[in-house]
Structure 1
Amino acid sequence: MKSIENKTTTLSKEADYLRALYQGWGERMTANPNMTIEDLRSLFDEWEKPTLEPEDVTYKTDTVGGVDVLWAFPIGCDKSKVLIYTHGGGFAVGSSSSHRKLAGHMAKALGVSTVVLDYRRAPENPFPAQLEDAASVYQALLASGIKAKDIGTIGDSAGGNLAVASVLKFRELGLELPGFVIAFSPWLDMELTGSTLETNADTDVFINAPLLQGMINMFIGEDGSKVRNPLANPLHADFKDFPPLYINAGGAEVLLDDARRLQARATKAGVQATLSVVDGMQHVFPFLAGRAPEADEEIRRIADWYKAL
């Protein structure tokens, strides 16, 4: 079990960009409580704003396993190695557009290609449509000749949930498991029992329990019958023989406890699980890639971890 606690006395001024974006979203949603899902999706596509364009990365739209995707190809990358990126956004918003630049930074840092999934979103397509799409992409990559050990799953927030749960789905399907998993600020707990939902309520400028509950209602419905399903809530999963796992989170966010519990549960099952917490940072702070030193340093840590696997 390895935890990296990155204590900082002051955050960079560039780190404030993400906080200000989230605060603006919250104000706009409060002012318009009846936002349609289309309006919310337009809002969350602004998630790409904090991320600066990675240099020497090209992009290609494609369809893999029947799923619309966006590839990120850093110049000189090893295309025989692939990150499957599942974007965040409460399973209902976010897209390959909002996450394109972050995926590019990750691909470049690891020297591999990344495929960002435009998986089917809730509420039109509730659980488990997202996992079915991830499995279709994974199976298509395997069928193309890419080795399981050379594939990793990666995601942020709800997409971090999917990065973990998709591997559980692969195991359920009897597939060889990928080589590793990376989860940024994963939102895992559909029961909303994490202690930091309360203790970090004053420091997280955007995420809160009512917002999460609304996303849960769209994702798995309101009857509560699926809140403990391991494929929806991986905190109830059996992590035996799970691939090496890297988790990060911001010290200011309400979902910090989800990351801590994931590491603890995986470690108890014998998984090589690393948790990196950067003090004072907001939800999915790697979105500040190329802009803020805190994000760039975290991405370098992930690259070092990957190269040591």
Structure 2
Amino acid sequence: MLINNKIYNSRKNFDKLGIAYEKAENVIIKREVIEDINCYWFNKNESVNSKLIIYLHGGCFVFGSIQSHQSLVSHISKHLALPVLFIEYSLAPEKPFPFSLDDIQKVYENIIFQYPENDIIFMGDSAGAGLAVSVLSRLNKKGNKIPSCLVLLSPWIDLSCSNNSLLINANFDPILTKKGLEYYASLYVKEHNLSEVNPIENISGPFPPTLILVGSREILLDDSKSIYYKLLGFQNKVKLSIYDNQNHVWMLENIHTKESKKTLKEIKWFIAD
């Protein structure tokens, strides 16, 4: 499928987020093809020990790559002192639902086969956080081993785009719009029924300890609240942290702010607990 110029140019612009600030010093990035899917290890040789992170990038299911997220993920790996595996999953509209979920599940199953003793941490931002929730629900339905921890950064969980914060925060969110999310959701859902695809409607427990981080200015604020209350039905250890005056995935914009540094510390504390 050929993509239009708007999507092509938007992808190029989105990738520029990866040079918004410098990558973390002394973090080594290595490409590895796993199950025919491009993946990238951050500091694999340094510490593939008891824990590793699988990172799922955001981008409305349409954008995102190692270029857009390399700087953010390098700082996450360095600060947490853990290896991170970044998955370049399939994107819509060329490969809509369920291609991305299939890619992530195949890589995850490969990793737990290679590292059966490791604790796997799922971490994702925006649409990537929604994909993490969907993959976890899939694994539960199959009776497979699930990750030991889940970290959601500004998650997009409800593709119906019907939560109140999409209207209440419309004048405060400089990044996302309800109309834009509805368009990108349609590219991802394609000919499928929305209820079949929507992460919030397909949650199947149990879920691991989960940390949810969201900015108060986001139109997706209520998505975080929805998943928080939903997961409390499966897991007592669920924490929702709302960061005042922060935009969507604020660490991607600037890793050096006081709030971003606080976020890294909170993630480190949560996954170590």
Q: TM-score band (shorter)?
A: over 0.9
| Alpha-carbon contact 1:53-1:290 (below 8 Å) kept | no
Counterpart for residue 95 of structure 1: 65
Q: Of residues 188, 196, 205 in structure 1, which corresponds to 2:157?
A: 188
- Matching of residue 241 in structure 1 with residue 211 in structure 2: no
Offset, 1:192: 0.8
| Alpha-carbon contact 1:77-1:113 (below 8 Å) kept | yes
Q: Of residues 241, 263, 266 in structure 2, which corresponds to 1:298?
A: 263
| Alpha-carbon contact 1:241-1:271 (below 8 Å) kept | no
Offset, 1:269: 2.9
- Matching of residue 279 in structure 1 with residue 249 in structure 2: no
Counterpart for residue 113 of structure 2: 143
| Alpha-carbon contact 2:138-2:204 (below 8 Å) kept | no
Report the TM-score, using the length of structure 2 for normalisation. 0.93
**CA offsets per residue over residues 183-225 of structure 1, 9 Å max, x none?**
100111111111110110011012011100110111002x6x5
CA change 1:268–1:173 in 2 (3 A) is: closer
Count matched residues. 270
Counterpart for residue 251 of structure 1: 216
Q: How does 1:10-159 map to 2 (within 5 A)?
A: 35-73=5-43, 76-147=46-117, 150-159=119-128
Counterpart for residue 168 of structure 2: 199
Q: Of residues 235, 251, 258 in structure 2, which corresponds to 1:270?
A: 235
Secondary structure of 1:168's partner?
helix
Report the TM-score, using the length of structure 1 for normalisation. 0.82
Offset, 1:261: 0.7
Secondary structure of 1:112's partner?
coil
| Alpha-carbon contact 2:155-2:224 (below 8 Å) kept | yes
Deviates more, 1:249-258 or 1:290-299: 290-299
Counterpart for residue 14 of structure 1: none
CA change 1:180–1:289 in 2 (3 A) is: farther
| Alpha-carbon contact 2:23-2:70 (below 8 Å) kept | no
**CA offsets per residue over residues 137-172 of structure 1, 9 Å max, x none?**
01111221333x611111111011012111112223
Secondary structure of 1:169's partner?
helix
Aligned amino acid, residue 278 of structure 1:
Y
Offset, 1:179: 0.5
Could you list the runs of 5+ residues in structure 1 that have no partner in the other structure? Answer: 1-33
Give the share of equivalent positions with the same residue, in percent. Answer: 28
